[in-house]
Structures are given as C-alpha cells and as structure tokens.
Amino acid sequence: MSAHLIALRQALRRLGRKPVATLLSALVIAIALTLPALGYVLVDNVAGLANGISGKPEISVFLKNEVPPDRVKAIETSLRIDPAIAALRFVPRDVALKQLAARGGFADVTGALVDNPLPDAFVIEPRNDTPASFEALRKQIATFPEVAETQLDSEWVERLHAIVVLARSITLLLASLLGAALLIVTFNTIRLQLLTQRQEISVKLLLGATRNYVRRPFLYFGLLQGLLGGVLAWILVAALLQVIAPQIEALAQRYSIALNIGGPAPWQGAVLCAFAALLGWLGAGISVRRHLHDGLVID
C-alpha cells in the first residue's frame, strides 16, 4: 500500500516538474478524446429524439366512405382483440376534418368544402415493432373489404434509426482510432522517460528494486496523464456544446423538431475520465514492458 503511495507521489512529482510538457500531452489526449465524446453526446440526444417523439411506428387504416357505423364498430372490436395490436385509436371523419382545419393553411380549403371528403380512420400501434411483423399486420388489415387504404407511418423513424445507428458506428470507430492515438501518445511519453531515466532505473535495480517497484511510477504517470486528458476533454466537450447546441436546436426547429440538447451527464464524464485513465495506464504498461529490459544494462 505504502509502495503504491510512494509511486503515486513520484508520478505526481514527475508531472509537476514539467508543467508545460504535462499540459501539452494532456491537451493532445484531450483533443483526441473530444471528437468521439462530442459525437457520442450528440448521437445520444438524437437517438432520444428517434425513440421519444413519434414513439412506436404506427399504421393508419383509412376506411371506405359510407361504411355504416355498426360495421365500423365491428371492425374496431375485431381489431381490439387482435394480439398483434398494442393500441388502437379511432379517428372519425369529422374529427379528422377539424384536425386538418386546425393545421395552418388549410382553414380556407376546408371551409370551402361542402362535403367532408375524409374517411373514418384507425391509427394502430403494433405490439411487435420489427418491420416484417409490421408489414404482415398491415397486409392482414388490408383484407377487410371496408378498408380503402393502409399506410405505414414508420418510414422516417426508420430512417432516423438508420442514421443514428450509422452515427453510432462512426463515433465508435472514431473512439477506437483516437483511443489508439492516446495509447501511442502515452507509449511514447513513457518511452522517452525510460530513456532519460535509464541511469536511475539501473541504479535502483542494482540496489534490489523489484521490476514492479520500477514500473509503478510510470504506470501511475500514464494513468494520471490520461485522467488529466479525460478531465480536459470533458471540459472541452461541455464548452463546445455550449456553443453548438443552440445552433443545432435552431436547425431542428426549422423542421419543427423540438430538440433540447443536454450536456454530458456526470456519469458520462466519469466514464470518459476512467476510459482515458485506463488507456494511459495501458499505454504506459505496454511501453514499460517493451522498453524496461533495454534499460537494464548494468556494468
């Protein structure tokens, strides 16, 4: 335990001895982490949009005109007991007309109409949301003789889903690439340190230091440097969000999408820092494993 404290103190001292170099390395790490972290936060927000707004995809079922009310009732009953249907909403033709009139721009048109041209309709929410089961349900409902038309409302949700999935993969790809960059940065920092401390390391080994004793300060150094980079990245992400979130929200507003981009949650920041610290530790570990024996030359 106290050996770990000594190593931690040594690592801190090394970080503190060259504050500018420390800050620069941490910034390189932070910048590498910022892009995927920012991507993650944005994708997360848009994914919430895709799940939240339209909820489940729906099927609109338009009946033929002049279907007598008792037939409508009968169809509704048979749909309600269908296990493939999770929820059902009946939209009478006059309600549909009112909704249409309420929508901007249509008031004059509807007012000019003598007859209501709209049919009665059902809006169905399927229980199962795979596209295939969806299509099956739509076909089945279309077989009612009173049904004029069925329409899937899921398309844009599916597109949004596809975009989110793509954006997720891209973010993940970026994260792995830039994570590798972080690993390499740490690997190299530690390699240079091992080189400059060759003499000190060989003296310590000569005096009976274990490999762990020699290795530990470097591991802590990598860990702390990564952690520092993670903290800086978190600050960068929060700051960048402050700048671009209003712009993205304004853009979404133009498409009548009420998007409210939230900043990174504390746990997400913690995950980011932990991830950076872990990569720093790993990079240092690999570097020490690779280079320490070279520093062992004792004569």
Cα–Cα distance between 296 and 190 in angstroms, integer? Answer: 16
Contact 164, 46 (CB under 8 A): yes
Contacting range for another protein; rule: CB under 8 A; set: 29-37, 96-104, 152-160, 207-215: 207-215
Answer yes or no whether residue 90 interacts with another protein by CB under 8 A.
Answer: no
Strand ranges in the chain using DSSP code E only, listed in sequence order = 59-63, 85-91, 121-126, 147-152
196 binds another protein (CB under 8 A): no
Window 269 to 298, contacts with another protein (CB under 8 A): 298
Which residue in 12, 48, 213, 263 binds another protein (CB under 8 A)? 213
| Strand ordering across the sheet containing 59-63 | 85-91, 121-126, 59-63, 147-152
For residue 123, give the nearest of 79, 165, 157, 64 by alpha carbon.
Answer: 79
- C-alpha of 38 from chain center: 9
Per-residue binding string, another protein, 146-185, x by CB under 8 A, is: ----------------------------------------
Nearer to another protein (CB atom), residue 59 or residue 219: 219
> x/- binding map, residues 93-132, to another protein, per CB under 8 A?
----------------------------------------
* Tokens found for residue 43: 């994708």
Binding flag, residue 3, another protein (CB under 8 A): yes
Per CB under 8 A, residues contacting another protein are: 2-3, 6, 199-200, 202-211, 213, 298-299
